Structure 1
Amino acid sequence: MSSSPRWKHRPPGSNWGDFGPDDQCGRMNLLTPDKVLQGMQEVRTGQTFNLSLPLDFPGGNVLNPRRQPPVLRPTLRGDKPNMNYQLWCDDPACTDVVCDDLVIMHLQYSTQWDSLAHVGSMFDANGDGVPEPVYYNGFRAGTDVVGPSSGAGAGIFGFPEIARESTSAAKALGIEKMSERCVQGRAVMIDLHAHLGRERVRVGYDLLMDIMRKDSVVVEPGDMVCLHTGFAQMLLEMNKQPDPHAVENSCAVLEGRDERLLQWITDSGLVALIADNYAVEGLPASPRPGSCAALPLHEHCLFKLGVHLGEIWHLTPLANWLREHSRHRFLLTAPPLRLPGAIGSPATPIATV
């Protein structure tokens, strides 16, 4: 463990400092060239799978009332929309017709990655006896992760007159740090849906280990782990009209309160934990007396270990193919947007088998 000017104490069970006092990549440090080569060795047919939902799914704001579907608009050319714009309007000699657009988008609306700035915790990192809001490796709220001082600088205020400057940014731990690692290597599929169907089950350590044993699934350090629950496939079938009862009561989720499950995440050496459901873990978390994290698995992964979470990926076609061919490993290429300061990012992950 390296010392750090940002903290004197690190959270119990965390790896702060293990990759250096200023590390912003967490367990992505274990995604080495050897792991890329291991992923490439899993490619036997050259067949590819797009693991992203269309980014206007799930539709509406049932999953999260603060997140809305993306809005596409043309850019302006003078005072006219730059869509099917005939350049001869400006120059009679021109024959070109052009289109150009922009998007207003909640970055974690659909298939996404969480950055390490997405969830922190109140923790006494400097040892003065007073907890302060901090993120992975001791990076500070208000200094390294900043936001506006009022609601007027947040949300969709100011659209369609789009703001020229950002009002918030992760000066440390932004999603661009993950993008710079390229995010390509060996991934492992754990097919919860094949054993549990669409029943709402909170999967703890014992059940997860039982399913992995039955399917002969092995997770090794540096692997990216995908959990297939069937949730994203259900969203597709709902055709952008998600049923609130169904999305709250269907498909498997991890039991974030299970300490043995969290310890397995630590001990396995996995570098990313990905699911096709809304939050990987069950929301709301199971009740627990006393003060504790509302998102215990998020806290463990993002805050303590620097393990990125992927959510609402479309895993069903790939999971079905892997099961039909008695396989569970594949090459995964899944960088987020290289958008400096962003807390999360849409993703278009590609699996190659």
Structure 2
Amino acid sequence: MRAVSDDGLPSYADLLARTDGVPPGSAWGLWGPDDQLGTLNHLTPQRTVQAAHAVRTGDRFNLDLPEPAFAPALTPTRKPLRHHMFGVSPFHRDEWLDGFYTQVGSQIDGLRHFGHPDWGFYNGADPDRLVTGDPLLGISAFAEHGIVGRGVLVDVGRYLAARGEAIDHTTNHAIGIDVVDAAAAEHGVTPRPGDIVMIRTGWVAHHLGLDRAERARAVNPLRCPGLRQSHDTVAWLWDHRVALVATDTFAVEAWPAVGDSPFVTEAERTGRLARDRHTGLMHRVLIPLLGMPLGELWRLDELAEACASDGRYECLLVAKPLNIVGGVGSPANATAIR
């Protein structure tokens, strides 16, 4: 696939052929040696101005699930927050949070979240600096830049269900990028450079519709649909100059990774690194090699209903990550405006 942009950046095929001292398949250095925004660089002021033209009615859609939405937790390393309140008088309230995991619900993964076992973190960042208080690759860079652009919804769940091919939400159903392309074409929308692409599967609605006992069984072990791990998927995202990709699933991509994933690292193949639940994930390519933020567990059902009702699958999208210096991720704090 050729790039759809004339911005002078290489295609993904060209990135895979790099021999200039950086990892093949990486965007390292394309925006300078000190870049901390990755593909958010596609969100230029001019593209934000263009995105504002997507607002027709002013209807607003909250894309964040309430905190906490997932009980039991989807993974034992992320637990629901505990909310405490107090008052110094009968006419005052204050509060604090305990156990606040920034990626427990609707979230944005920052560039600290994953490194590549063979190559390291985005743009060759020094891993010794990825600590509390150091801003390098922190989510605060996204907060300072702002995430405001054209949002495009691709309702893969509705598209497949209409064809009698409904997604089985109890499995790691792998969605090929050809299906995403076909659904977008049916919606009459084509991703443009700088877009925030949202892919709805219906998984959140499925999972939250289970009773507590069913949810407990569903997370032990968790299996969740998502994008198929393939170079075609990565090429589509990069060559369309997607600024951020978000889904209503646990990991954006199929979880766990499909058995034929091409993203098993050299360290794992040689036994230098034990295989684990991250083996084969595109996270290890999209985040550390391309610098692409990921949105997970976004609330897309209400937006999808509105899009289906009037046939418009674009919006102005505003997301405001927490300004945590050195933060790994953040609640999405995302709103779609149509």
- Please state which band the TM-score falls in when normalised by the shorter chain: 0.7 to 0.9
Q: Residue 115 of structure 1 aligns with which residue?
A: 110
What code does the residue aligned with 1:333 have?
Answer: V
Which residue among 15, 18, 24 is the counterpart of 2:27?
15
Task: Deviation per CA, 1:27-56: give whole Å up to 9, x if none.
Answer: 111101122112210100011001100010
Residue by residue over 1:136-164, the C-alpha shift from the partner in whole angstroms, topping out at 9 and shown as x without a partner, is: 100022x2213xxxxxxxxxxxxxxxxxx
Structure 1 residue 249 displacement after superposition:
7.8
- Structure 2 counterpart of 1:182: 146
Whether the 8 Å CA contact 2:199–2:248 is kept in 1: the answer is: yes
* Aligned match of 2:93: 99
CA distance in 1, matches of 2:22, 2:309: 45
Give the TM-score normalised by structure 1. Answer: 0.78
Match of 2:185 among 193, 213, 216: 213
Alignment of 1:286-297 (within 5 A): 286-288=258-260, 291-292=264-265, 294-297=279-282
SS of alignment partner, residue 36 of structure 1: helix
Is 1:350 the counterpart of 2:319 in the alignment? no
Aligned-partner residue type, residue 144 of structure 2: E
* Residue 255 (structure 1) aligned with residue 228 (structure 2): yes
Secondary structure class of the residue paired with 1:85: coil
Alignment match of 1:57 (pick from 60, 65, 69): 69
Distance 1:330 1:9, change over 3 A: same
Structure 1 partner of 2:200: 228
Corresponding residue number in structure 1 for 2:242: 270
Question: Is 1:329–2:301 an aligned residue pair?
Answer: no
Aligned position for 1:158: none
Per-residue CA distance 1:277-317 (angstroms, 9 max, x = gap): 10000111112489427253212211111110000010000
Q: CA deviation at 1:173?
A: 0.6
2:325 aligns with 340
Instruction: Check conservation: 1:193, 1:251, Cα contact below 8 A.
Output: no
> Does 2:321 correspond to 1:318?
no
Say which is worse superposed, 212-221 or 289-298, in terms of deviation: 289-298
Percent pairwise identity:
32
CA contact (8 A) 2:174 2:225 kept: yes
Residues 232-253 of structure 1, C-alpha deviations (whole Å, 9 max, x = no match) = 2234333766624546787741
Q: Distance in 2 between matches of 1:250 and 1:319?
A: 23
Give the number of the structure whose alpha-carbon radius of gyration is greater: 1
Do the aligned partners of 1:60 and 1:241 also contact (CA within 8 Å) in 2?
Answer: no
- Structure 2: give runs of 5+ residues left out of the alignment: 1-8, 10-19, 161-165, 266-277
Question: What residue number does 1:127 align with?
Answer: none
For 1:189 and 1:208, the matched residues in 2 are separated by 10
Contact 2:225-2:255 within 8 A present in 1 as well = no
| CA RMSD after TM alignment | 2.2
How many positions carry a matched residue from both structures?
297
The TM-score, its normalising length taken from structure 2, stands at 0.82
Deviation of 1:216 (Å): 2.4
Partner Cα distance (2:256, 2:224) in 1: 14
1:72 counterpart residue number? 83
Report the secondary structure of 1:18's partner residue.
coil
Query: What whole-Å deviation, never above 9, does each CA across 1:164-215 have from its counterpart, x for those lacking one?
Result: xxxx455411110111111111010010111234424311122222222222
